[in-house]
Structure 1
Amino acid sequence: MNIGIIGLDSSHALAFTRILHESQETLFANVTVTAAYAGGSPDFPFSITRVNTFAGRMTKEYGVRLMPTMQQVAENTDAILILSADGRIHLNQFKEICSYRKPVFIDKPFALSSADAGEIIRLAEEFQIPLMSASSLRYAEALPEYTRGDILGADVYGPMHIESTQRHYFWYGIHSAELLFQVMGPGCREVTAFSTDHGDHITGTWKEGRMGTIRGIRNGPENFGITLHTRNANQQIPLEPSYKGLLKSVMNWLKNGVCIVHPSETLEVIRFLECAEQSRLQKCTILMEM
């Protein structure tokens, strides 16, 4: 299987390629990143200042061919990873390649609005494209196996850095939100959020009254964790994102058709963060409408 990457302005491009080329996992057998489009957003310093360095390393260390267009990447590969750091451009990038009908994984943040997220999903359905997105935090090794229905509530904490081009909650908040939905499942009904200089607090209320929270930290330790509340116990767990766990899930999806994060849940995560931004600005609770 030949993998193409669109967007070399994220360290994920190097990390994912290294794992796919060097890991001995059975799911990674005969999977190679062969082509890439560098990209880069000129008005986003985090993106444009790193893209040339990462692109150079991809070619030198892993023999990846740089292509002048996204379409050429799609033509010459079997599946595509859109890894551009800038969530604003994911919809337009997907539009450029959707006619090739290749499976597409889109890295965080999937999109910066539910309108863009919904349009990506609509196009995927129109062109019959397998589509997946997920944070590596969903696959943290320490996260226990629970049936979502057993979880009465969950409190997530993690860094909440703000990037002005990526809206308030979508840059690092996407990781905490993805973790929250991993354990709570879909079905959030309302969202309340507020912000101070030290961080943010988001509360979501799920059906049957279950509650999940996110504490976004700007002044403090930059680590992730979760407290799970079940009928029998309260369990606090520090967590580390797992790129290998994420890639194993992506390969299981590509090779075996098993996708544990449905696009409808991805859309709900984006809507959750969108509602949190509305709540923060309007200082009120926002009802989730999908």
Structure 2
Amino acid sequence: MRLLSTITAFALLTFATATSADEPIKVGMIGLDTSHCLAFAKLMNNADDPKHVPGCRLTVVYPKGSPDIESSVTRVPKYTEDIQKYGVKIVHDLEAMVQQVDAVLLETNDGRPHLEQIIPVLKAGKPCFIDKPIAGSLEDCIAIFELSKHYKSPVFSSSSLRYGKNTQAVRNGSIGDVMGASTYSPCSLEKTHPDLYWYGIHGCESLFTVMGPGVETVVRTQTDSTELVTGTWNDGRIGTFRGIRSGKTGYGGHAFGAKGIAEIGGYNGYDPLLVEIVEFFKSGKPPISEEETTDIYAFMEAADESKRQGGKPVKVADVMGKAKEAAAKKIAAVTGQ
């Protein structure tokens, strides 16, 4: 699986020093408007928790929220109070926060400011995990990865659903080669984001975890209560995502393999994801390729384009081409190149 560029020598030395001395890696957090913030803080900092993940310690938080998303506005004050119970310091200067840590969790629930917020992290050469959605647009997703390579500062992004036990078993070959898959998840909408970016990302992430990259065309059907998005991969395989907005909801799906059929898409907590994040902070090696993550967001953007065209098939290459052009301008504005 293709990985991002190697991290800077300075960052490698930092990790080596921290691990050799058995000292936890100091982690900073950007954003404080999602339940993931408190969950990660507890799992990292509370050694008495039965699911404690050692190796990192959350030391400082930049408690940013979004003024035009109600859930963000209402959560930040309470979460700011609660997270300090884990011995975390609150800092209101982003660049100052970045300089105090070895690695960063970008947790702002709103994907739109992620590109702007991650730039000081990348310029400082610090590895960064970006919680879902990686950005509020496909062009920003592409720009983040390109800037990551430019500054030799590694990143990865994932939903916790990727690390469901059954999903990982299928990815690792439990039913042989995956011939196709179908997943489902809740799919509430948020007017500030592309339709599937806000919550549909969970089911889409599960789909790509077992299917891998290579989606070529996308068709979407939408009603008030349901999304149905069908992707055709470049090798002829078909994967579908069903987004649920009414009736009984949940996370799940099935993968169809050369040697069997298996359930996938279930949620097994935040700790399996955090284990991967800690290992990433130690090694500087992203566990998920840029190609696979970008494909997920291209799939969801192509689904929006299919909706705009009345449910017609959309080529992923077309939406990628437009997004790359827009991303190039943003990259140049940051790098001056």
1:36-47 correspondence to structure 2 within 5 Å: 36-47=61-72
Change (3 A) 1:285 1:75: same
SS in 2 for 1:170: coil
Conserved? CA contact 2:164–2:267, under 8 Å:
yes
Deviation at 1:98, TM superposition (A): 2.3
SS in 1 for 2:67: coil
Q: Deviations over 1:94-120 (max 9, x none)?
A: 123322111111000001222111111
Conserved? CA contact 2:183–2:265, under 8 Å:
no
Deviation at 1:3, TM superposition (A): 0.4
Conserved? CA contact 1:41–1:48, under 8 Å:
yes
Deviation at 1:71, TM superposition (A): 0.7
Q: Deviations over 1:117-143 (max 9, x none)?
A: 111111111111011111100101233
1:1-290 correspondence to structure 2 within 5 Å: 1-22=25-46, 28-59=53-84, 61-143=85-167, 144-147=169-172, 150-237=177-264, 239-283=266-310, 284-289=312-317, 290=320
Q: Distance in 1 between the 2:139 and 2:55 partners?
A: 37
Deviation at 1:261, TM superposition (A): 0.8
Please, what TM-score do these two structures have when normalized by structure 2? 0.82
User: Gaps spanning 5+ residues in structure 2: where?
Assistant: 1-24, 321-337
SS in 2 for 1:208: coil
Q: Deviations over 1:69-107 (max 9, x none)?
A: 111110100000000000111011112332211111100
RMSD: 1.8
Moved more, 202-211 or 227-236: 227-236
Deviation at 1:239, TM superposition (A): 1.1
Q: Deviations over 1:30-76 (max 9, x none)?
A: 421000100111111111111111011111x1111111111111010
Conserved? CA contact 2:170–2:210, under 8 Å:
no
Q: Which amino acid aligns with 2:70?
A: P
Conserved? CA contact 2:166–2:263, under 8 Å:
no
Please, what TM-score do these two structures have when normalized by structure 1? 0.94
Change (3 A) 1:120 1:79: same
Q: Which amino acid aligns with 1:230?
A: G
Number of matched residues?
A: 289
User: Gaps spanning 5+ residues in structure 1: where?
Assistant: none
